[in-house]
Amino acid sequence: MRLSVTENKVVICFQCQKELQPIKTYLSYLGHSFYAEIPKCPDCGEVYISEELVKSRIAEVEMQLEDK
Amino acid sequence: MNLETKTGNIQDCLQNQAAFCTAACPFGLDVRDFIEKMQRGAFNAAYRLYLNTVGFPGIVSALCDQPCQGVCPRRVTDEAISLRRLEAAALNYARNTEPNNYNLPPKNKKVAIVGAGLSGLACALRLASRKYDVTVFEHSNRIGGHLWEKLPPEVFLPEFERQFMHETTTLRLETEVTSLADLPFDAIYVATGAGGNDFGLVSDPNGAFASTTPGVFIGGSLTVGNTSGSNMQALADGLNVVAAIERYLKVGSMNQPRETLSTKLTLDPARVERSEPVYPADGLAYTRDEAILEAKRCLRCSCDACVRFCDLMHYFKKYPKRIAEEVELTIHPGTLDGNGTIATRFISTCNQCGLCKEICPMDIDTGEFLLQNHRIMREKGAMPWAFHDFWLRDMEFTNGSAAQLARKPAGTVQSKYAFFPGCQLGASAPQYVTESYRWLLGQSPDTALMLQCCGAPAEWAGDEKIHAEVLAQLRENWLELGQPTLVFACPTCKQKFGRYLPEIPGVFLYDLMFAAGLAPAIAGDGETVSVFDPCASRDEPELQQNIRQMVDLAGFNRQPLPLEGKQAACCSWGGQVSTTNPRYAREVVSARITQNDLSYVAYCANCRDIFAVSQKPVYHILDLMFGLHGPNRVPPTLTERRNNRIRLKAQLLSEFWEGESPMEPEKSPIKLTIPPEVRQKLSDDTLLEPEIARVVEHCERSGRKIQHPESGNFSGHLQIGNLTYWAEYHPTEDGFVLVRAYSHRMSIDEAVSDRK
């Protein structure tokens, strides 16, 4: 499962004050587990998923898994 | 639970039943297929189909007495389809009328045919094309038999010539067969015509065209006689006997009965719109255009009521048998990846409105079939939780302490009635319930109140365990109230009680109002409206009539809708399919509200609010009776619906059970302002404001949040139950303003990802 993620705008982890980087992150749904490169704080691991991504690729993958 | 797929009576489906004309045709011509080709001017394709079915198209199109016309539904409305003229047109305009030339090895079997009439020659043609060694014996000096009396030889002789052009047969003219025993053949077909020699053969009723003598078959006018239409029957016999002869040659048995075509098809004559018959301008034969026009008059009769009426079957273009197959595959998926579960979403997209059964001539209840199998899927854990999660939580909330109430009026010992408004009436507008209850108390002061959900969301989710719990609670509360008759405001509630708690008697609020002569508070002033019957009112004709009379009394004019009464259609709410298949739900709403430009009068709060969200003006019947709202009232958001239920309970307690105060709702420690446009968007996305407030609260308390340097906004997420919620918000002087919120179903496995 691939979730290609391109976040153009800079986002910063509030606690670590570090810029989030695309880092391999595990996701799961309906018993399926997979990973994607998602903006993540390199120190504490705080993640960010934009509404744009949720409404597009994530919704698509969810639908595919529901129909699988 | 039994995990076998439940198929109900879907095998009775008439989808594949022959058209009336096909069933009446001696050849069983697939007229639907033939006409489809003719309608698009594919004369060659139509001709090939015709040729393969009748053997000698040039003869049949000239001689057939058209039994199809006696059964064509058009014969009553205008005029039966002129199939013979269309067949002649196929012959006239086909690009290539030559027969097929089959390149097959010869078969080592010899067949004798006695009689070179239409039946014998048809049999000879078919057997020869399959490369049997065929000999035709004819006592006279010419072929064609009785055809000489019916057609000019220049019509049928060239046709025989043409159809036999690629075949080799031995023709023995002027050869009288006197005894079959002398013929050294593997099989014999006796087709000596009406009044011909039957060689003392006895027909065997157990086999098609069989005699009691092994290897000897009889048919054609010899058995059917020389009657009207006997030529065509004789020809058809000659074609059909081939299968029996081949079976005998291969396996030696003659006991396969004859296949007869019949049909169980029914057609509502009211559906047949007048269409003028097309006659050939030259009085003889159709031109191409005339043929196409006449073909277009054909109804291509088939049973398609379900795909015309049922939104689901119409949208997916699937008939019950196909649905049953796909559901079976979904419940028992094979081992190959991707070949199963094709109907998971489909099963969960049924509105459960019951229209499929209503309009099916065989009473096939596809909706019930899907519900049964939905339960199996749920039991197996194979139905995605997301499809019904929100609505099950909504039901839990309604039946929880914040909104639930089951009470008798103070000091009442025995209640005759208990008002059961259902979960959505008060959610839509609390006054609907407070006004109605006040009126009921005026009629019958001992009337109790039950604010509770009827369990429909659990039924629709296929969750039998939760459903049973809800039903048990309902029953217990009803017993505690002293077994009153429930007064329903929602037709779905009454329907569900009737099915699952039949011991509990129920009446409709509106029937009581009508019987009591309650005068409507709104004056319609002659405005024309349409009453929208909710699907759950399908079997409540009295209610449907009373509502109409109340609308009339209020001074409105009424215009009927295409689907109403027994054929009431779902507003899209049923089955709570909007989460499972939002696009489908939108299509259904659109189909319902575009039936006309008038305001509707609904008597189900969901119908009203769903249409009103899509800008359709809709009154609730209680708006008319109590003068509460106009038809353009903006329906509450999902969050407001919950707040309305909390408010309703509080109002009722303070008005009717003085001194009782409801539980105070939990106050959030942060102040989150949600602008109106964001509120509506949350509701559209099935998100509740308190859940989003919890996300912001979590971010602020834990400091786990993301900063957006450009806007100064913060973002953060929190998984609550199954869903992961995100909020983006902006700090203000005394709190926060919500910028956006959204959710996803997949969860972020933070423990695993942190290990990186």
Q: Is A29 in contact with B746 (Cβ distance < 8 A)?
A: yes
pTM for the predicted model, two decimal places: 0.84
B697 plus B593 within the same structural domain: no
Residue B631 lies in a domain: no
Q: For the purposes of burial, counting CB atoms within 10 Å of the CB of B240, is it exposed (0-12), middle (13-18) or buried (19 or more)?
A: buried
Q: What is the 3-state secondary structure (H, E, C) of B619-663?
A: EEHHHHHHCCCCCCCCCCCHHHHHHHHHHHHHHHHHHHCCCCCCC
Report the number of distinct structural domains present in chain B.
Answer: 6
Q: pLDDT value at position B182? A: 81
Residue with tokens 């919120």: B741
Examine residue B3 and state whether it is found in any structural domain, yes or no: no
What is the model's pLDDT at position B226? 76
Concatenating the DSSP letter of every residue in B328-365 gives HHHHS--SSTTSS-TTHHHHTT-----HHHHH-TT---
DSSP element (H, E) containing B367:
helix B366-380
Contact B488, B498 (CB under 8 A): no
What ipTM, to 2 d.p.? 0.94
What is the structure's pLDDT at A7?
Answer: 54
Residues B706 and B646 in one domain: no
Domain coverage including residue B416: 389-515+637-653
Map tokens 């519900």 to a residue.
B371
Q: Is A14 helix (H, G, I), strand (E, B) or coil?
A: coil
Chain A interface disruption, residue of B753, B754, B755, most A CBs within 10 A: B753
Q: Does residue B102 sit within a domain?
A: no
Do B648 and B505 fall within a single domain? yes
* Closest Cα in chain A, distance from residue B643 (Å): 27
CA distances in angstroms from B744 to A22, B92, B682, listed in the order given = 19, 64, 13
Contact assessment for residue A31 and residue B746, using Cβ atoms and an 8 Å cutoff: no
A56 Cβ under 8 Å from any chain B Cβ: no
Residue B164 inside a domain? The answer is yes
If asked whether residues B232 and B114 sit together in one domain, one would say yes
CATH number for position B123: 3.50.50.60
CA B470 to chain centre: 30
Q: Give pLDDT, residue B755.
A: 39
Q: Judge whether B230 and B221 are in contact, CB under 8 Å.
A: yes
Tell me B567's DSSP state.
G
Q: Given 3.10.590, 1.10.3470, 3.10.20, 3.40.50, which CATH number is that of A1-68?
A: 3.10.20
CATH number of the domain that residue B735 is part of: 3.30.2310
Pairwise CB contact (< 8 Å): A49 & B709: no
Contact A61 B714 (CB under 8 A): no
For residue A33, what are the β-bridge partners? A28
Dist. CA A40–CA A57, nearest whole Å: 18
Rounded Cα distance, B448 and B432, in Å: 16
Q: Which of B131, B348, B122, B136 is nearest to B235 (CA)?
A: B122
User: Which of chain B's residues have a Cβ under 8 Å away from the Cβ of A68?
Assistant: 338, 341
Kindly state whether residue B593 falls inside one of the protein's structural domains.
yes
On whether both B407 and B505 belong to a single domain, the answer is yes
Strand boundaries in B408-548, DSSP class E: 417-420, 448-451, 485-488, 506-508, 528-532
A51 shares contact with chain B (CB less than 8 Å): yes
Side-chain half-sphere CA neighbours of B353 within 13 A: 31
Structure token pair of residue B438: 């006040």
Question: How distant, in Å, are the alpha carbons of B311, B481, B572, B577, B614 from that of B585?
Answer: 10, 38, 5, 7, 12
pLDDT at position A8: 66
| d(C-alpha B545, C-alpha B520), whole Å | 16
CATH number of the domain to which B588 belongs: 3.40.50
Q: Are residues B694 and B721 in the same domain?
A: yes
Domain assignment of residue B460, yes or no: yes
d(CA B364, CA A13): 59
Which DSSP string corresponds to B581-629? -HHHHHHHHHHHHTS-SSEEEESSHHHHHHHHHTT--EEEHHHHHHT--
B:300-359 residues touching chain A, CB 8 A cutoff: 338, 341-342, 344-345
Tens digits of residue pLDDT in B92-116: 999 999 999 989 999 999 999 999 9
What pLDDT is attached to residue B474?
98
Distance of CA B575 to the CA centre of its chain: 15
**How many Å separate Cα B636 from the centre of its chain?**
33
What residues contact residue B744 under an 8 Å CB cut-off, 6+ apart?
A49, A54, A58, A59, A62, B723, B724, B726
In a domain, B555, yes or no: yes
B529 shares its domain with B490: no
CB contact under 8 A, A51 and B705: no
Q: Mark which residues 10-39 of A lie under 8 Å from B by CB.
A: 10-15, 20, 23-30, 33, 35, 38
SS3 category, B135: strand
Please name the residue that has the structure tokens 């030696």: B252
| Domain range list for chain A | 1-68
Q: What is the three-class DSSP state of B260? A: coil
Question: Please, which pLDDT band fits residue A1 given cuts at 50, 70 and 90?
Answer: very low
pLDDT under 50: residue ranges of chain B: 1, 3, 752-756
Residues B244 and B334 grouped into a single domain: no
B713 plus B739 within the same structural domain: yes
Residues B649 and B503 in one domain: yes
* Pair B153, B242 in one domain: yes
For residue B700, the 8-state DSSP code is: H
B472 and B528 both lie in a single domain: no
Query: Reduced to 3 states, what is the DSSP secondary structure of residue B400?
Result: coil
Residue B351: its pLDDT value, please? Answer: 97
Q: At what angle do helices B676-684 and B689-702 cross, to 10 degrees?
A: 110
Distance, in Å, from the CA atom of B646 to the CA atom of B663, rounded to the nearest integer, reads 9
Query: Which residues in chain A touch residue B714, judged by CB atoms under 8 angstroms apart?
Result: 14
Is B557 within 8 Å of B530 (Cβ atoms)? no
* Residue of B380, B746, B756 to mutate, testing the A interface (most A Cβ within 10 Å of its Cβ): B746
Measured between CA atoms, how close is B638 to chain A, in angstroms?
20
Helix spans in B40-113 (H): 43-54, 57-63, 74-77, 83-93
Tell me, yes or no, if A54 comes closer than 8 A to chain B by beta carbon.
yes
Nearest by CB to A28, from B344, B747, B756: name it.
Answer: B747
Q: How far apart are CA B405 and CA B398, in angstroms?
A: 10
Chain A residues in contact with B706 by the CB 8 A cut-off are 11-14, 20, 46, 48
Q: Which residues pair with B729 in a beta bridge?
A: B714, B738
Least Cα distance to B362 among B319, B328, B326 occurs for B319
For residue B336, with 0-12 CB atoms within 10 Å meaning exposed, 13-18 middle and 19 or more buried, which class applies? exposed
Question: Contact, B330 vs B347, CB < 8 A?
Answer: yes
Q: What is the pLDDT of residues B162-199, one digit of tens each?
A: 999 999 999 999 999 999 988 899 999 999 998 899 99
Q: What is the dihedral of CA B459, B464, B467, B469, to 10 degrees?
A: 180
Q: Which amino acid is at A56?
A: S
Residue of B584, B563, B670 whose CA lies nearest to B305: B563
3-state secondary structure of B127: helix
Q: Give me the pLDDT at residue B4, please.
A: 54
CB B741 within 8 A of CB B678: yes
